[in-house]
Structure 1
Amino acid sequence: MAVHLVDIGKAFEGTIPLSILKRVCRHTLLALEYLHDSYIKGESIFMSGEPLAYDDTRTISRNELQTCIFTLGDLGSAQAKSNDNRPRWVQPLASRSPEVILGTSYDTKIDIWNLACLIYEFATGEPLFDPPADGAVVHLAQIENLLGSFPSALLARSQDTVEYFDAEGETAYTLCIAIALTKLEKSKSAPDEIHVFTEFLGSALQVDPKTRSSASMLLSHPWLAGVQ
């Protein structure tokens, strides 16, 4: 049986320490880098621990978590990048990227957005975005308030822009960014660590996929320096 990150989070009262999470992130990015170089998109990322043989009563130490290998447990609806008949709606709802919500073309950068949302949730115990099932406009407003305005070029590529944005490119209504930012305090990490972590997330959560970091770029980010 494999150790799932959800179970690890429960062991740490709902969150995973950044010292462990950065190892999870590095190993996942290595897997994504390989998949993206192989022209495959994950579209839905599910992460688990290394498939270790153990029973339900085994206790795994923190030291083991800082030395084990983490793997992608499921590729979800993965498909070749060359596929021209891609479905409109991909990714779990809360970690759906802006380009998918807006119905524009998408590529491997949606996996980066997806990963960043998951890493944030494991660090804080709460989702970065929490849109209702039928609330695309709410989701877009949450993204804009946390990360800034949508690039006009991205909005121009979407046929749905007029449904969600006004003539000035603003979302229909606003939300409070401070609520999302204060969640990071739950990670119980040093302020400097949180600062570098948020810079990492910022590189992965660029609204415009053209400026969003790739897996290879994120692997060289200072937050992952020294992580094996």
Structure 2
Amino acid sequence: ESLHVMANKYMIKCKCLGGISSRRQCLFILMILIKIRPYVMTNLELCEGDILHGQTATYTVLRFLGEGSFGMVVESIREAEEEVRLLSFFHNLIIGQLDSERCNVVQFKECFQYMGLTCLVFEMLNMSLWDLLKNHRPVLSISELRPIAQQLLVAFHALKDIDVIHADLKPDNVMLTYQPYRVKLIDFGMALTTSEQGVIMQPAAFRAPEVTLGCVYDFPIDMWGLGCTLVHLLVGTNLFPCCGYQSIKMMVDLLGMPPEDMLNNGRYTKFYFTKEEDGQPNPRWRLLTPDEYSRVNREDPGEPGPLQNDLTTLDDLLNVSALKHASHGAGHEVRPDSTDQPPSIQMPSQAEEVEEGGEIRSSEGELPQTELQTELMTKQRGQTRTVDMFLVL
């Protein structure tokens, strides 16, 4: 059954008035995701001083912090010695089935009701990969990307086992933890168990072609999102543009035409491709030119992405990465170790999934000790405030 959420997210700072464990105050976040039925808008307003009663604590709203896309978020203080937490409305169907530490996903803590809405409490983690790029390191090296990729594959393997597609992978939704130093997958606000043809999911720059074309999609769209996320971490910018036409054009330039069956079955194929009527019994698809796209869709095809003129193959990303590291003075290797085989970068195809054979163990993928880790851990120890929990309704 489709879950609909209000397209507003507010972050509100709250103060927790009581808890069942120790009386130490800890900062936390209350995230409220408002489920709505089609054409029915649910309005929930929280003001400074409003009180929410959980099963183990009471939370008082202090202030709004910002807004986003899929619900409401508030920041609060909780008088209980707990670890950092995060929330989302769909997690009651997902997280309860997973060992969060083993599977590298955010940890579920508690659940309560507020004004008829379900509020879920999760650990709130220290820093997202987006924060890492923005505030500490504009690019990462391949040696730093390897354990990140491995740990996210563990998470997606676990989600596939319970038939869940995350559908929202991007650097913002991968969080760093420090004990141990590793990553965890968060924000299941767009997660789903089945694909409804034509429903557009995933952030635009991380969107798989089968989603853009309006095909039925499955777990491989998360593998596509993972590849795009790793490229973003490697070169500090998106691989594909956010514009639909330019994104599809770049995919065709780098990877070739999508499979014929994908084009034939796509609900939105005609917005990007046309069939060559050359008298052949089986006319083949081709990409619309920018002018044709403008005429068909009555909109501008958009501008090429920042990497569109720098890449002829995906392997060119290694050269772009070397230039990025040199310009930022990163001082970390870009090429693989000398013992590795020559690199070849590939985006996963629709048929490729996480390997089935054998169990993938997250304990083997702890992030290596690097200058980056030392820097971040030093800054973390210097903080006087403990961010404690996320809550989502």
Asked if structure 2 preserves the Cα contact closer than 8 Å seen for 1:155 and 1:161, the reply is yes
Asked if structure 1 preserves the Cα contact closer than 8 Å seen for 2:151 and 2:365, the reply is no
Q: Which deviations, in whole Å up to 9, do the C-alpha atoms of 1:158-217 show, x marking residues without a partner?
A: 133233113242212387965133533335512677953x43xx152x3xx12xx21236
Asked if structure 2 preserves the Cα contact closer than 8 Å seen for 1:26 and 1:219, the reply is no
Residue in 1 that maps onto 2:152: 28
Residue in 2 that maps onto 1:189: 334
* Gapped regions of structure 2 (runs ≥ 5): 1-124, 276-283, 291-303, 326-332, 367-393
Alignment of 1:1-228 (within 5 A): 1-10=125-134, 13-45=137-169, 46-50=173-177, 68-81=181-194, 85=196, 88-132=199-243, 136-167=244-275, 168-173=284-289, 179-180=310-311, 181=316, 182-185=319-322, 186=324, 188-190=333-335, 195-196=342-343, 198-199=344-345, 202-204=346-348, 206=349, 209-210=350-351, 213-216=352-355, 227=365
Extract structure 1 runs of 4+ deviating beyond 6 A: 191-194, 217-220
Check 1:51–1:13 CA distance in 2 against 1; reply closer, same or farther (3 A cut).
Answer: closer
Structure (1/2) with the larger helix percentage: 1
What is the CA-CA distance between 1:124 and the residue it aligns to? 0.6
What is the CA-CA distance between 1:31 and the residue it aligns to? 0.5
CA distance in 1: counterparts of 2:178 and 2:365, whole angstroms: 20
What is the aligned residue count?
A: 196
Check 1:79–1:162 CA distance in 2 against 1; reply closer, same or farther (3 A cut).
Answer: closer
Check 1:21–1:104 CA distance in 2 against 1; reply closer, same or farther (3 A cut).
Answer: same
- Taking structure 1 as the reference length, the TM-score comes to 0.73
Check 1:217–1:144 CA distance in 2 against 1; reply closer, same or farther (3 A cut).
Answer: farther
Structure (1/2) with the larger strand percentage: 2
Residue in 1 that maps onto 2:87: none
CA-atom RMSD in angstroms: 3.0
CA distance in 1: counterparts of 2:174 and 2:259, whole angstroms: 31
- Taking structure 2 as the reference length, the TM-score comes to 0.44
Residue in 2 that maps onto 1:61: none
Check 1:76–1:184 CA distance in 2 against 1; reply closer, same or farther (3 A cut).
Answer: farther
Asked if structure 1 preserves the Cα contact closer than 8 Å seen for 2:197 and 2:214, the reply is no
Asked if structure 2 preserves the Cα contact closer than 8 Å seen for 1:97 and 1:113, the reply is yes
Between 159-168 and 118-127, report the one with greater CA deviation: 159-168
Higher Cα radius of gyration: 2
Residue in 2 that maps onto 1:59: none
Q: Could you tell me which amino acid in structure 1 is paired with residue 259 of structure 2?
A: P
Check 1:87–1:153 CA distance in 2 against 1; reply closer, same or farther (3 A cut).
Answer: closer
Q: Could you tell me which amino acid in structure 2 is paired with residue 18 of structure 1?
A: I
Q: Could you tell me which amino acid in structure 2 is paired with residue 3 of structure 1?
A: M
Q: Could you tell me which amino acid in structure 2 is paired with residue 183 of structure 1?
A: V
Asked if structure 1 preserves the Cα contact closer than 8 Å seen for 2:224 and 2:347, the reply is no
CA distance in 1: counterparts of 2:354 and 2:178, whole angstroms: 23
What is the CA-CA distance between 1:76 and the residue it aligns to? 3.5
What is the CA-CA distance between 1:155 and the residue it aligns to? 0.6
